[in-house]
Amino acid sequence: MGLHTLPSGSALFARYAYPPNELGYCGPGDSGVLLRGDDAARVASHAREFDGAWPYLSTIARATGSDPLDVDVVRGYWVGSPALRRVNPAVLLNTLRAAFTGQVSGLLDDVECTPAVLAHHSFHVFVVYPWVRFLDREPATALRVLQSCRIRWGTVTAVEGEHAVIDSSPLVLDDGALRLGVRRPDRVRWSRDGASFVTAPTPGTVVSAHWDWVCDTLTGAEWKALREATTTTLDMVNAARRRTGGLP
């Protein structure tokens, strides 16, 4: 298991950023930089090339007087924390609209500037990414991508070799609106050939997952913050879709 040599903020970033980086969905090449975690300078340089995450980390850092890879900044973006409330929603929207100008997005130009606009990964998934616009035309595909890309949480029920089964609420379309559904088993990887970001999970613990990897073990406060940020964003997205004709 790596990452013990990294500063805590860089290690936390690597845990959450590696799964989509490995798949080639975001960030630069050589995702092994994040998995190995043996070079702090390379991990920091790698993180700056995440065009999606870096504007959020930079905005939180400016609002809190911190470094973008400070552990509280990184945790705020991926999981959630009170630090998110220190980010001015108007500043965040202006930053994101400038950063992603010219790119096809979901609802970035449609959401209203309210306290529900959070510098959180769920905002990027459900508002900036274009997949929310495919919910009416290709609901199964759009839901699958949105479900995998969001940071989700679940209680470990079993460990099967290098995989764990977690009891987690999936993303569902309920009368056209995005909701969290009834919990169901979700099989995710916690290790590959002995390399992992966490120690072997134990039944009863709550973990976070991104795509098909376990990222971290969550405290009660952390999973509640993640749930609050996620549901806040979903409520805002449903309201925006309703206002723009995406919902009946």
Residues 102 and 96: beta-carbon distance below 8 Å: no
Give the DSSP H or E segment for 167.
strand 163-168
CATH fold label, 151-223: SH3 type barrels. (2.30.30)
Tell me if residue 207 falls in helix, strand or coil: strand
Q: What length is written for the chain?
A: 248
pLDDT of residue 103: 85
For residue 174, give the 3-state DSSP assignment.
strand
CA atoms of 131 and 43, how far apart (whole Å): 29
Three-point CA angle 60, 147, 219, nearest 5°:
55
> Which DSSP helix (H) or strand (E) runs through 60?
helix 54-64
Alpha helices by DSSP H, 100-194: 121-123, 139-149
* Longest alpha-carbon distance in the chain: 52
| Integer-rounded Cα radius of gyration of the chain | 17
- Note the pTM of the prediction, 2 decimals: 0.94
- Name the residue type at position 245: G
A 10 A CB-CB count for 21 gives 24
Per residue of the chain (248 residues), what is the pLDDT tens digit?
Answer: 444 456 689 999 999 999 999 999 988 888 888 988 778 888 899 999 999 999 999 999 999 999 999 999 999 999 999 999 999 999 999 999 999 998 888 999 999 999 999 999 999 999 999 999 999 899 999 999 999 999 999 999 999 999 999 999 999 999 989 999 999 999 999 999 888 888 999 999 999 999 999 999 999 999 999 999 999 999 999 999 988 776 65
Query: Using CB atoms within 10 A of its CB, is residue 233 exposed (0-12), middle (13-18) or buried (19+)?
Result: buried
Cβ within 8 Å of residue 24, ≥6 positions away:
none
